[in-house]
Amino acid sequence: MDSDSIQGPLLEKFHRDLARIHSLLGSFPTIERFLRRNETPVKSVLDIGCGGGDLLSYLRRRMNVEVMGIDLKPGFTQDVPVIQADATCELLPKADVAISSLVAHHLTPEQNIALIRNVGRSCKRFLILDLIRHPMPLTLFSIFLCPLIGREAGADGRQSVRRAFTPEEFAEMVKEALQGTAGSFAIDVPPLLSRQIIDIRYGTAQS
């Protein structure tokens, strides 16, 4: 999916398959559940790597929040505002909470650290949902999800698991990104290692 050759109808097919993967994994309700744990009611959400905007549409419908998406290669969206930008370095819109789902494994450790720091300049909290590099989720994905999605998305998904970070690796990246700040974080991992959620709270917006 990172290839420059993935454009037009093929890119839209990737976004549809990705939305189906999210549905099968229960990613949207999981993110909603974490958002509802905020100290104050969430009024605005910024989605980093929003693709076709399906997650934002879901959250707006379920939580009645203002939504905005950021993506380098936005998919077709009918009713979700999306800005084409590099979230690792460009100025981002302000929001109560930023979210990012299945994006981190496409970035290098240095890019993830830059992303976390950049988001802290405009948001008080950052929820990152991503895969875990481990044989168990790779096997489960290959057996149960690949037959339900396109061949290209299946190959991309398996590669994504292989290049994902372990929770320990992610913790080191977040520690480096938050060094010298009042920020804190927690990592949530379910028993089958189907995903990890990194919940970063900045305290105050970073300068």
Q: Compute CA distances 3 → 11, 133, 156, whole Å.
A: 10, 21, 11
How confident is the prediction along the chain (207 residues), in pLDDT tens digits per residue? 444 545 456 656 666 666 666 666 788 999 999 999 999 999 999 999 998 888 999 999 999 999 999 999 877 676 899 999 999 999 999 999 999 999 999 999 999 999 999 999 999 999 999 999 988 867 776 766 666 666 666 667 777 888 999 999 999 999 999 999 999 999 999 998 889 999 999 976 455
Integer Rg of the chain from CA: 16
What confidence score (pLDDT) does residue 79 get?
A: 86
Domain assignment present for residue 96? The answer is yes
Q: Is 72 inside any structural domain?
A: yes
pLDDT for residue 15 = 60
Is 106 within a domain? Answer: yes
Predicted local confidence at residue 176, as pLDDT: 98
What does the alpha-carbon distance between residue 172 and residue 150 come to, in Å, rounded to a whole number? 34
Q: What is the pTM of this model?
A: 0.84
| CATH assignment of the domain containing 60 | 3.40.50.150
- On whether residue 86 sits in a domain, the answer given is yes
Q: How many domains does the chain have?
A: 1
Inside any domain, residue 134: yes
**Number of residues that make up the chain:** 207
Tokens of 22: 């999210």
Is the residue at 3 inside a domain?
Answer: no
What residue numbers bound the domain in which 112 lies?
Answer: 8-201
Q: Which three-class secondary structure state does DSSP give residue 123?
A: strand
